[in-house]
Amino acid sequence: MDEARPDSALPSPAIRLAITVVVMSASLMQVLDSTIANVALPHMQATLGATQDSIAWVLTSYIVAAAIATPVTGWLEGRFGRRELFLAAIVGFTLSSMACGLAPSLAAMVAARLAQGVFGAFISPLSQAVMLDIYPPGKRPLAMTIWGMGVMIGPILGPVLGGWLTDNLNWRWVFFINVPIGLIVSVGGWALLRSAPRSARPFDAAGFAMLALALASFQLVLDRGTQLDWLDSTEILIEIGIAAAAFWMFIVHCVTARHPLIPPALFRDRNLMIANLFLLVSSGIMIAGAALIAPMLQRMMGYGVVDAGALVMPRGISMMLSMILAGRLVGLVDSRILIATGLALSAVSQFMMTGFDLQMGSGPIIMSGLVQGLGMGLVILPLNLLAFATLAQQNVTEGAALYSLFRNLGGSIAISITTALVARNTQVSHSDLSAHVTTVTMPFMTAGLVEQLGLRAEDLMRLVDAEVNRQALMIAYLDDFWLMAWAAAVITPLALLMRPARQGEKPVLMSE
């Protein structure tokens, strides 16, 4: 690997702090937007005159656009420069956020969200690059701790902030809130960031087209599968076929092309591939967990938006403290042990959540959140370090984009799977529970009593059915927690397959 840049070429501590605030504000703004709009969908549907099926494109368009644009970050950075691309991404994201808030129709909203997803895709890997470029090698764990806090806590805060803005202001403020932040970050980035050397690597248009088609089709499968009943839908079958064919063609192209979009060396790097697998699962657990717990607290237990957010907040606080602890331990303890410990704690927290019930207080929610935050904090920083410890310097930028892509895919896959299972298992559990609603288990529900109640008998039966639905939905949530617990437990031993950084070597995570 190339030697680190001398400390004299690094910005002063004051400038470094200012740059950190600027790039982390941009990163947090982008990550928040991946989940902040979810809770506002019903309000958007009424304003834009959309159906329940079509309003989902507000989320789908953003996710698909981000997935397609992420892999070209490395080429665009080399072609236009990191500073220039970062500023263009911030300005484009800010303008598209304003367009989302002003959208008069669903078509305009989807178009603005597509643009927002494209520009937002560049912000996360570029912010990581800037953070690691301005810190000396000895402080890179600190840089990764700060960056990881913003990236992983954003999805937790998104639904809470989105709900508060929607309830107290208007759903359009879910997007308008990005405008002042984007303006400040744009000015700060223009004043503080420096241009980096550029390269003239040819653009792999064929590879990009194949990968874009594969990712777009795959995301459509994930986002629309639940609505269209998965394999019973012709559309889903066609999209699966297109995704599989395009992805296979892309792999063949990467092996045979002279200048592929993603260098084959990335797929041969054991640490990066295993880290991507860990990231796929851990980010999935984190993002899907946040997507499940907030509506569960509101729908099942009657908490308001602010109260539900307060109960979720300990998980974020625990994760921040855990990441600070990991930054202290990363030079003293094998990073693989930290990753395995963190995943094991995440599995334990999910097993704790399988014991939730409708009569519980806030204690189990807070305690399981604290354990999960502790576990995730121990995973993020060591995983970031090991992912790039064995990667050749010239492939690091492309590796960072691939790493970011896997994080986004992990959240999309996990949300799709858990949402589908909640819908399916609710129906299964409702059927099972209804079979036990008899005069034996409910002796007061006799034919004579129903006749005496007259018209109120239907109300009584509706109340019984509503309670069966509530219990069935809770069982479905618990099934999801079981699935995520076993997913974390199964991949925990794979941490030992990663190669540790050599003694005394500081892993180089980004180009200098």
Domain 1-203 and domain 265-512, same fold? Reply is: yes
CA nearest neighbour of 170 among 107, 100, 96, 110: 100
Count of alpha carbons within 13 Å of 280, Cβ hemisphere only?
12
The Cα 280–Cα 283 span in angstroms is 6
CA–chain centroid gap for 283, Å, is 6
Alpha helix stretches (DSSP H) within 135-233: 140-168, 173-176, 178-192, 205-228
HSE, CB side, 13 Å, CA atoms: give it for residue 113. Answer: 26
User: For 198, left (φ over 0), alpha (ψ -120 to 50), or beta?
Assistant: beta
In a 13 Å sphere around the CA of 346, the CA atoms on its Cβ side amount to: 33
Q: How many whole angstroms separate alpha carbon 232 and alpha carbon 220? A: 15
At 281 the pLDDT is 87
Ranges of each domain in the chain = 1-203, 205-260, 265-512
Instruction: Provide the CA 484 distance to its chain's centre, in angstroms.
Output: 15
Contact 90, 186 (CB under 8 A): yes
CA distance 447 to 444: 9
Instruction: Tell me what pLDDT residue 510 has.
Output: 37
| CA–CA dist 68, 192 (Å, integer) | 29
Is-contact 491 277, C-beta < 8 A? yes
How high is the pLDDT of residue 11? 83
Please state the length of the chain: 512
Class of domain 1-203: mainly alpha
Would you state the structure tokens that stand for residue 236, as one six-digit string?
Answer: 């889903």
Angle between helices 13-33 and 106-134 (to 10 degrees): 150
* pTM flag (> 0.95): no
Whole-number pLDDT of residue 185:
93
What 8-state DSSP symbol labels residue 330? T
- DSSP class of residue 5? P
Report the sign of the C-alpha dihedral through residues 198, 86, 22, 328, in that order: negative
Give exposure, 132-149, as e/b (b: 16+ Cβ within 10 Å): bbbbebeebbbbbbbbbb
Question: Tokens for 116?
Answer: 């927002």
Three-class secondary structure of residue 446 per DSSP: coil
Q: Which residues of the chain have pLDDT under 50?
A: 1-4, 503-512
The rounded distance, in Å, linking the Cα atoms of 424 and 428 is: 6
Q: Are 279 and 250 in contact (CB under 8 A)?
A: no
Residue 31, CA distances (Å) to 116, 120, 281, 378, 398 in order: 12, 8, 18, 20, 20
CB 409 within 8 A of CB 287: no
3-class state of residue 197 by DSSP = coil
Give the orientation angle of helix 270-301 with respect to helix 396-434, to 10 degrees. Answer: 40
CATH of domain 265-512: 1.20.1250.20
Q: Where are the alpha helices (DSSP H) in 354-455?
A: 363-387, 396-434, 447-453
pLDDT tens track for 292-335: 887 788 778 888 767 777 788 888 888 888 988 888 888 788 88
d(CA 210, CA 197): 29
Q: What is the DSSP string of 92-115?
A: HHHHHHHHHHH--SHHHHHHHHHH
In the numeric block, the tokens 């004579």 are attached to: 448
Instruction: Please measure the distance between the N-terminal and C-terminal CA atoms of the chain and give it in whole angstroms.
Output: 11
